[in-house]
Amino acid sequence: MYQMKASVNHIIILFISILLLGTTTGCSEYQRIIKSSDYALKYEKAKEYYNKKKFSKAVVLFEELLTVYRGTTKAEEIYYYYAYSHYGVGDYLLANHFFATYSSLYPMSNRVEETEFMAAYCHYLDSPRDVLEQTNTYMAINELQSFINRYPQSDRVARSNELIDELRKKLENKAFRNAMQYFNMEKYNSASVAFSNILREFPDTDRRHELYYMIVRSNYMYGRLSVKSKKKERLLLAKENYLKFAEKLANSKFEKQAADIFVKVEAELKAIESEVRLAQEEKNKNKP
């Protein structure tokens, strides 16, 4: 039993040693390539690392090779791989820069369409979640639209349009979240404006019915909580918007909720009219 256990331990130790040796050998090989002045070897190894998806190693080698081969015919291909290596690492900001620069350095290359699309696509990949600031999202939309404008017959146009739709949906989600935040903070006038802006900026939104409803609801809450001198005017706006959207809300899940608000608006307006009438009657009675 002891011999068997010792034998198993020996096998485990041998296996670990082989792994460590392989790792060390791999690292030492890479270090030797880094230190080598054989640039042809470095070029072949850089492509080998690239093809094996070892992009962080490929980036280092291609970066050095760019300096060595600057001004030669080989520089174009190195620059192409260099940009894709940054893309492979996941550094989309640098990848965008190098794809865009490739296009300006080699405008006659048959890869220009590809690299211009990739520059825009990197901005798409760098677009943050919709809860965050969306500058990169706007940049991505602009670059993708510019690509479509330059290459209207490209096979990549359909994909570019899909990406733009996705990015615009992200902006819409952000805008809707902001509008709801105004509403939840009881800033009802700001909420109404924000919901209306979404309808204007995203006319194809699938939230259209909800936005109509939220405008009416915001108007109602804004009017109901207003000071007496402003209440009637603001409730009339809620009524006006309900009548404007009633036909559009027909058969939607918000139809009844909006109609219930309209009933409340009408009741409050009648109460205001009644109060005004009673006040006028009282005033007339007190006249000498």
Q: Three-state DSSP class for 187?
A: coil
Assess whether pLDDT exceeds 90 at residue 164.
Answer: yes
For 38-55, how does the pLDDT look when each residue is reduced to its tens digit (9 = 90+)? 999 999 999 999 999 999
Assess whether pLDDT exceeds 70 at residue 263.
Answer: yes
Structure tokens at 72: 């030669």
Question: What residues does each domain of the chain span?
Answer: 186-288
Cα separation values, 113 from 94, 151, 153, 156, Å = 18, 8, 11, 9
Assess whether pLDDT exceeds 70 at residue 19.
Answer: no
**How high is the mean pLDDT of the chain?**
88
For 170-180, how does the pLDDT look when each residue is reduced to its tens digit (9 = 90+)? 999 999 999 99
The matching CATH number, chosen from 1.25.40.10, 3.30.420.40, 1.10.579.10, 2.70.70.10, for 186-288 is 1.25.40.10
**219 CB-near residues (< 8 Å, 6+ apart):** 188, 192, 234, 235, 237, 238, 241
User: Which residue's entry shows tokens 């359909």?
Assistant: 158
Name the nearest CA neighbour of 102 among 123, 88, 89, 84: 84
Assess whether pLDDT exceeds 80 at residue 208.
Answer: yes
DSSP 203: T
Name the nearest CA neighbour of 124 among 156, 155, 150: 156
pLDDT value at residue 228: 87
Number of residues in the chain: 288
Model confidence at 16, in pLDDT bands (50, 70, 90)? Answer: very low
Number of Cβ atoms within 10 Å of the Cβ of 139: 17
For 80-121, how does the pLDDT look when each residue is reduced to its tens digit (9 = 90+)? 999 999 999 999 999 999 999 999 999 999 999 999 999 999
Structure tokens at 26: 């791999």
**147 CB-near residues (< 8 Å, 6+ apart):** 116, 117, 120, 154, 156, 160
pLDDT value at residue 286: 61
Looking at the chain, the whole-number percentage of residues with pLDDT higher than 70 is 86
